[in-house]
Amino acid sequence: MTRPTTEHSARYRDALADGRLHSPTFERNAGPVIDGLAPYLTGLSGHALEIGSGPGRHVCAFARAFPGLAWTPSDPDPVHRKSIAAWAAHEAAPVAAPLDLDAAGDWAARGDVAALAPLRLVIAMNVIHIAPFAVAEGLVAGAGRALAPGGYLAFYGPFRENGAHTGDGNRIFDARLRADNADWGLRDTAEITGAARTAGLETTALLAMPANNRILLFRKS
């Protein structure tokens, strides 16, 4: 079980009185991520589950951008769950109460996830490099089980490609992550693609995002 909750909460300082945490990256990455996903998600209906929602700003923006999907956020960190619920209330966003979900576990078998399944979308932003590889593996395996045929699994964040960093910024970030925690670090698109193939998910898109980030999108066969 991987619950590095205090390490993560410490990254988002300055909670407002109602528990809303500031998201340092939301303003610059939410728009490009929504634009990148729009060709795939526009008009879709069904349930969407976000894993590792963090402060919770993205899920509110996603719910506005893709209103046909019913959005459920999640995070193992109680401080983050409080922030997610507070942002949803503040913005009157149509977002369900956040689940306490550890992606390294057998989360697709949980009753609260099964009640939403089969899912149209599972999305994880900036999660799998700030967690042990077991979280990436659990996330992909669970998505393979919980997604509907034709449903999507989307990752956003920095990746290595073919064993190499895509820029100096990511190389430095990777070294910093590994110094913080030897089990963390940028994942290679090839290792995620391989795990996805095993889980019955085919690679649909690798989208370049600002600041050398990527959207890695898979579709259940």
The greatest distance separating any two alpha carbons of the chain, rounded to the nearest whole angstrom, comes to 45
Q: How far is the CB of 153 from ligand SAM (least distance, A)?
A: 14
Name which position in 2, 193, 203, 204 contacts ligand SAM (CB under 6 A): 2
Asked if residue 149 lies in contact with residue 123, where contact means CB atoms within 8 angstroms, the answer is no
SS3 27: helix
Asked if residue 37 lies in contact with residue 61, where contact means CB atoms within 8 angstroms, the answer is no
- Assess 36 for contact with ligand SAM (CB under 6 A): no
Q: How far is the CB of 123 from ligand SAM (least distance, A)?
A: 9
- Assess 128 for contact with ligand SAM (CB under 6 A): no
- Partners of 220 in beta bridges: 201
- Assess 108 for contact with ligand SAM (CB under 6 A): no
SS3 86: helix
- Assess 203 for contact with ligand SAM (CB under 6 A): no
Q: How far is the CB of 138 from ligand SAM (least distance, A)?
A: 7
Give yes or no for a cis peptide into 76 (omega within 30° of 0): no
The count of residues in the chain is: 221
Name which position in 37, 60, 77, 218 contacts ligand SAM (CB under 6 A): 77
Nearer to ligand SAM, 18 or 202 (CB): 18
Pairing, β 46-51 against β 159-160: unpaired
Binding region for ligand SAM (CB under 6 A): 2, 4, 8, 23, 25, 51-54, 58, 75-77, 80, 101-104, 125-127, 130-131, 135
